[in-house]
Amino acid sequence: MEAAADRVAIVTGGSRGIGPAICRRLGKNGTIVHLAYANAQDAAASVVAEIEAAGGRAFAHRADVSVEAEVEALVDDVVDKEGAVHILVNNAGIIEDALVALTRLAQWDRVLRVNLTGAFLMSRAVIPAMLDERWGRIINISSNSVRMPAAGQCAYAASKGGLEALTRVLAAEVGRKGIRVNAVAPGRIKTDMTAALWAASGVEDGENRWGLPEDISGIVAFLASDEADYIQGQTITVDGGRLVGRQRAARRPS
């Protein structure tokens, strides 16, 4: 296995929000970063430029993770160029909230297709390259919505619950081959996805602050490293304590 600095990562949803922070963090470690974006070419190019300006190596690819042919072309491109893929971060995601009774099948399908099927397609595509190396890291970006869902999050929470189940199944299947598969479940993070919510919340700092993309990128970089070799099939919650806070409040005697 090469030194950590020569490793090759694919990060989906690398053009905005949590994705660029993960790309920058991996790039800072010397990992060669291939970021995938759905349609924001300029934003993806800026992330590449930032990583290069900091002395790293990065490349942007347009690829919709919900389209099998695009996923396979992306992974083939990276393997042709680098000869290997060591790290996959399934970060691309969408949210379309509606109550169950009002959720159209097309909405449900769109969310499941990107958040869950996309991670399945990406993982399936990179596993042969990871098996060749007998070393790999797959990190799935889930959500606290699995454990603390809000009304209206049926498709989103179901997609992330499925993603956590996929994480454990994959860990059981490839663990003996040197591949570690884990998930990170962020709480509320200040990104474009949640812009309307944090703009309305008025909470800017203190213990109850919104998380930042950089609150997520460090744990992803750790899970992508050799040091995380003994962590397998887990979901790590990174939510500033909201989950335990909610439980504590629920048990408080009146």
Residues that bind ligand NAD (CB under 6 A): 12-13, 15-19, 36-38, 40, 64-66, 91-94, 114, 141, 143, 186, 188-189, 191-194
Pick 71 or 135: Cβ nearer ligand NAD: 71
Closest CB to ligand NAD among residues 16, 57: 16
* Shortest distance (Å) from residue 62 CB to ligand NAD: 9
Estimate to the nearest angstrom the gap between the alpha carbon of 217 and the chain centroid: 10
Nearer to ligand NAD, 96 or 131 (CB): 96
Neighbour count for residue 100 (Cβ, 10 Å): 11
User: What is the total residue count of the chain?
Assistant: 254
Residue number with the shortest CB distance to ligand NAD?
17
Q: How far is the CB of 2 from ligand NAD (least distance, A)?
A: 28
Residue linked to tokens 């962590």: 231
Give the rounded distance of the alpha carbon of 25 from its chain centre: 13
Q: Between residues 37 and 135, which has the closer beta carbon with respect to ligand NAD?
A: 37
What is the DSSP track for 95-140?
A: ---B-GGG--HHHHHHHHIIIIIHHHHHHHHHHHHHHHHT-EEEEE
Q: How far is the CB of 208 from ligand NAD (least distance, A)?
A: 14
Residue among 15, 141, 124, 136 at smallest CA distance from 85? 136
Shortest distance in whole angstroms from residue 81 CB to ligand NAD = 19
Task: Read off the tokens for 206.
Answer: 């203190």
Cα gap 236→156, rounded to integer Å: 18
Tell me which amino acid residue 12 is: T
Shortest CB 192 distance to ligand NAD, Å:
4
Measured between alpha carbons, how far is residue 168 from residues 33, 57, 145, 161 in Å? 25, 31, 18, 11
Rank residues 1 and 195 by Cβ distance to ligand NAD and give the closer one: 195
What does R_g of the chain's alpha carbons equal in angstroms? Answer: 18
Which residue, chain included where needed, has tokens 């695009």? 70
Catalytic residue positions? 156
Nearest Cα neighbor of 224 from 51, 59, 89, 24 is 89
Tokens of 161: 């619950």
